[in-house]
Amino acid sequence: MSIIWKQNNNYILVPIQLGDISPSSSTPDISVTVSQDYVDPIRNCGLYVSPFTGKYTGSSSPHKDYEQLLWYSNNYTGCGLRVTQTYSALGNAVEYSETRMVDNGRLEDADIFSGQVIEILNGPSIGETKTILSYAPENRLFTFDTPFTNDITGADYKIDIIKQDFFKYRNGSSIDYPIQLINKAGVIDRLEQVALTFRLILPNYSKKAGNLFFDLDLTYTPTEIDNELS
């Protein structure tokens, strides 16, 4: 049982190099996938960084590199290590009334939809969009900002989510403060590949040359699976 990290469909067996970078610039986007071969889905999945545990060849120390990585995001808005996640949720409006819709087929057990936009894919309101104010996972209930023009009962819909987070203090800085995986609200099914994109952005302040080493980890339940990527 293990967590599987891949880049370009190849297993990641050595540390990834994000690339060379100068002040006020960023590395290219680095795309990886994470999957798991446990017999059941793993849940409550989240990402966090930690001090590097491999053979260290940097210019300082693993802990100082880790602190420097978080320091960028803590002190400079829009800088540091950024992760981009995308998730497309398709479904059907089983019940609808005014600004509320129920889809009993939804599997997400946490609200990842508030603030997102829903688009109707067929029926008299095809192409119409609304902003989602809230989602109650216990009864699969969506609440919108305004009513749809027509009754959307039975219509198909999609919700496309793009979420970007910077690893900073209490946001991906430790196993106690992970960045939630939005895929199915933190669920990875057996052998399902979840795509993640990383980019390191430096502030203008950064004048010191050197390397930053860190580990990227995945937290989840059950917890007995090896989970680390360097």
Last residue of a domain, one of 110, 133, 161: 161
Residues 36, 91 share a domain: no
CATH classification of the domain holding 125: 2.40.10
Residue pair 200/27 in contact (Cβ under 8 Å)? The answer is: yes
Q: By the 8 A CB rule, do 227 and 42 touch?
A: no
Q: Could you tell me whether strands 80-92 and 194-201 are parallel, antiparallel, or unpaired per DSSP bridges? A: antiparallel
**CATH number of the domain to which 56 belongs:** 2.60.40
Regarding whether 73 and 179 lie in a shared domain, the answer is: yes
Q: Total domain count for the chain?
A: 2
- Say whether both 103 and 217 belong to one domain: no
Question: What is the model's pLDDT at position 204?
Answer: 85
| pLDDT tens-digit series, residues 97-121 | 999 999 999 999 999 999 999 999 9
For the chain, what is the mean pLDDT? 93
Give the CB-side neighbour count of residue 129, counting CA atoms within 13 A: 9
Tokens for 13, please give them.
Answer: 């067996």
Check whether residue 100 and residue 157 sit in a common domain: yes
User: What is the token pair recorded at 152?
Assistant: 């959307």
DSSP 214: E
Same domain, 35 and 72: yes
State the average pLDDT over residues 195-199. Answer: 97
Supply the range of the domain harboring residue 59: 3-12+21-85+163-229
Q: What is the pLDDT of residue 23?
A: 79
Mean pLDDT of 132-143: 98
Q: How far apart are CA 117 and CA 132, in angstroms?
A: 6
**Domain boundary, last residue among 119, 140, 161:** 161
Residues 76 and 8 occupy one common structural domain:
yes
The residue assigned the tokens 């930053």 is: 212
Residues in the chain: 230
- Res 226: pLDDT: 53
State how far the alpha carbon of 52 is from the alpha carbons of 97, 198, 214, in Å. 52, 17, 4
Domain end (from 114, 141, 161): 161
How buried is 141 (Cβ within 10 angstroms: 0-12 exposed, 13-18 middle, 19+ buried)?
Answer: middle
One-letter amino acid of 72: Y
Categorize the per-residue pLDDT at 223 as very low, low, confident or very high, splitting at 50, 70 and 90: low
Q: In this predicted model, what pLDDT tens digit does every residue of 10-52 receive, in sequence order?
A: 999 888 988 878 877 899 999 999 999 999 999 999 999 999 9
Asked whether the beta carbons of 108 and 139 are under 8 A apart, the reply is no
Residue pLDDT, tens place only, 177-195: 999 999 999 999 999 999 9
Assess whether 150 and 177 both reside in one domain: no
* 202, 173: one domain: yes
pLDDT in tens, 203-215: 987 655 568 899 9
- Residue 25: what pLDDT? 87
